[in-house]
Amino acid sequence: MADDRPARVISCPGAVELLDELMTGPRRFSELHTTFPRRVLVPALRALAAEGALLCPQAGSWDSCPRGDALIDLTDTGRQLAVELSDLDVWVAVYDRYLNG
């Protein structure tokens, strides 16, 4: 595994599920909020944005919540990350690194 992005994303509750949701297409913040509780959604958005995985032209800073009508989509990096995380070998490698340092 070339980088630690998958491990950082896996360690954030809801981030993998959010990636999976966004793989089907862009979603408005209000739509995501109906699927994910705010206490899960906001940190997951921030974690994915920090990895360069999200695109939201209306977001400005991820320190505050986007407006309800803000459209959130995956970048190419986000799509690549979702594909990597769909590979069982990546999960095994991340888990092994977690256990064995």
From first to last of its 101 residues, what are the pLDDT tens digits of the chain?
A: 457 888 888 889 999 899 999 999 999 999 999 999 989 999 999 999 999 999 887 656 666 677 778 899 999 999 999 988 887 666 677 767 767 76
The rounded distance, in Å, linking the Cα atoms of 2 and 34 is 35
- The reported pLDDT for the residue numbered 1 is 42
Q: Could you tell me if 6 and 65 are in contact, meaning their C-beta atoms sit under 8 angstroms apart?
A: no
Instruction: State residue 54's pLDDT score.
Output: 93
Cα–Cα distance for residue pair 99/86, rounded to 1 Å = 21
Residue keyed to tokens 């990597």: 84
Q: Which two tokens stand for residue 26?
A: 């862009």
